[in-house]
């Protein structure tokens, strides 16, 4: 056999081996460390897609990977610069992601830079302490912070301007205190905040209901208030709202997934249809509740318009608070 023939044979063998490699399973990127609301979003998507995957022609065996950094900024940049056309890569987002986008924390980015696939549910803000904390109500905690702000550290996902920071700032202002006196400790997501709370590194957490629900059954934390219009069903059903305690604040947080801007329309629509079918399943309501989320379903073009309007509204709010110019 000639050298040329050997080279041709070798090339054919390599091609055959490459073709024999199993197709890579779709991926859901969590832009935070494990244990928070973003993690729950990907896990809900993976579980919820199982009954409709074959019908919707998608692979429900989502690989969940973690890409923390910049409260979603690292994952956003990675998708836009390196993975913009990958047809089976989803990235979790939340209302906090949209707030950061509005404040310019993702650089010179806009809501039009990615393809918004589906919103799977809504979460709500909450304030929690450890079970052995001396503070039994939201007002008791805020009054204690007013008296000696340096003695109470508050775990929060993100730095100044994040939704967890804004929630505490609004509550502090309504309590008659100075929001600038708050001693906030920034973490990369709610999972880290609760770990720090249980370890005693912070005395309170400004976070989300879905994250708190993971710890509520352990009896190790006490949720002082949920930031919803009314009391929520489920494991936190006995927790009063902030409004019941004299503070006019509700904080809904949508949770969902987006894709890169270069994903072909056919592939994008395939995932939109898959999530539509998933959320139309009667069993999905119970599954969503088990993941600590509440009803809110929106996909495709409707979600894209909703996200744009939300980012615009957050941008106006940020300007009023002096967070952006």
Three-state SS at 255: strand
Q: In the listed set 245, 270, 288, which residue is the last one of a domain according to the structure?
A: 245
pLDDT confidence of residue 323: 65
What is the four-CA torsion angle of 259, 93, 248, 320, rounded to 10 degrees?
A: -70
pLDDT confidence of residue 318: 73
What is the four-CA torsion angle of 159, 217, 35, 275, rounded to 10 degrees?
A: -110
Q: In the listed set 245, 263, 288, which residue is the last one of a domain according to the structure?
A: 245
Does 74 map to a domain? yes
- Please spell the DSSP secondary structure of 209-267, one letter per residue: HHHHHHHHTTTSEEEEEEESSSPPSSTTTTSPBTGGGT-----EEEEEEEE-TTS-HHH
Q: State whether 228 and 316 are in the same domain.
A: no
Does 97 map to a domain? yes
Query: What six digits make up the tokens of 244?
Result: 């019941």
Domain that holds residue 285: 27-122+253-320
Q: In the listed set 218, 245, 272, which residue is the last one of a domain according to the structure?
A: 245
pLDDT confidence of residue 10: 40
Q: State whether 75 and 143 are in the same domain.
A: no
Q: State whether 74 and 136 are in the same domain.
A: no
Q: State whether 175 and 240 are in the same domain.
A: yes
- The two most distant CA atoms of the chain are separated, in Å, by 89
CATH number at residue 87: 3.40.190.150
Q: State whether 164 and 232 are in the same domain.
A: yes
On whether the CB atoms of residues 157 and 36 are closer than 8 A, the answer is yes
On whether the CB atoms of residues 301 and 265 are closer than 8 A, the answer is no
Q: State whether 203 and 116 are in the same domain.
A: no
Residue 66: count other Cβ atoms within 10 Å of its Cβ: 15
- CA-to-CA distance for 89 and 28, rounded, in angstroms? 6
Q: Tokens 């072909």 belong to which residue? A: 264
pLDDT confidence of residue 324: 61
Q: State whether 137 and 191 are in the same domain.
A: yes
- Residue-wise pLDDT for 134-187, tens only, equals 999 999 999 999 999 999 999 998 777 788 888 898 899 999 999 889 999 988
Helix (H) or strand (E) holding 160: none
- CA-to-CA distance for 29 and 67, rounded, in angstroms? 7
Q: Is 176 left (phi over 0), alpha (psi -120 to 50) or beta?
A: left
pLDDT confidence of residue 2: 52
Q: State whether 48 and 76 are in the same domain.
A: yes
Residues of the chain with pLDDT under 70: 1-23, 60, 321-325
Number of domains observed in the structure of the chain: 2
pTM for this prediction: 0.77
Does 53 map to a domain? yes
- CA-to-CA distance for 25 and 45, rounded, in angstroms? 14
């Amino acid at each position: 056999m000639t050298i040329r023939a050997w080279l041709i044979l070798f090339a054919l063998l390599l091609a055959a081996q490459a073709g024999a490699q199993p197709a890579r399973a779709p991926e859901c990127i969590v832009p935070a460390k494990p244990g928070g609301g973003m993690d729950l979003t990907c896990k809900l998507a993976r579980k919820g897609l199982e009954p409709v995957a074959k019908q919707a022609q998608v692979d429900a065996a989502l690989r969940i990977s973690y890409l923390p950094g910049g409260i979603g900024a690292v994952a956003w940049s990675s998708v836009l610069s390196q993975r913009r056309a990958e047809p089976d890569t989803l990235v979790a987002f939340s209302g906090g992601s949209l707030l950061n986008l509005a404040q310019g924390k993702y650089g010179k980015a806009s809501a039009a830079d990615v393809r918004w696939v589906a919103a799977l549910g809504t979460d709500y803000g909450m304030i929690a302490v450890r079970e052995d904390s001396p503070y039994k109500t939201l007002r008791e905690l805020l009054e204690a912070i007013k008296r000696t702000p340096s003695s109470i550290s508050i775990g929060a996902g993100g730095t100044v301007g994040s939704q967890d920071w804004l929630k505490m700032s609004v509550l502090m202002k309504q309590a008659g205190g100075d929001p600038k006196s708050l001693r906030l400790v920034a973490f990369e997501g709610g999972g880290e905040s609760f770990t720090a709370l249980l370890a005693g590194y912070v005395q309170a957490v400004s976070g989300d209901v879905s994250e708190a629900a993971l710890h509520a059954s352990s009896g190790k934390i006490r949720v002082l208030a949920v930031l919803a219009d009314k009391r929520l069903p489920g494991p936190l059903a006995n927790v009063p709202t902030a409004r019941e305690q004299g503070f006019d604040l509700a904080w809904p947080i949508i949770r969902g997934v987006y894709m890169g801007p270069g994903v072909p329309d056919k592939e994008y629509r395939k995932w939109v249809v898959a999530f539509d079918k998933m959320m139309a399943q009667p069993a999905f309501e119970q599954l969503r509740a088990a993941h600590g989320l509440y009803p809110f379903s929106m996909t495709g073009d409707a979600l894209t318009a909703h996200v744009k309007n939300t980012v615009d509204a957050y941008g106006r709010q940020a300007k009023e608070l002096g967070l952006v110019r």
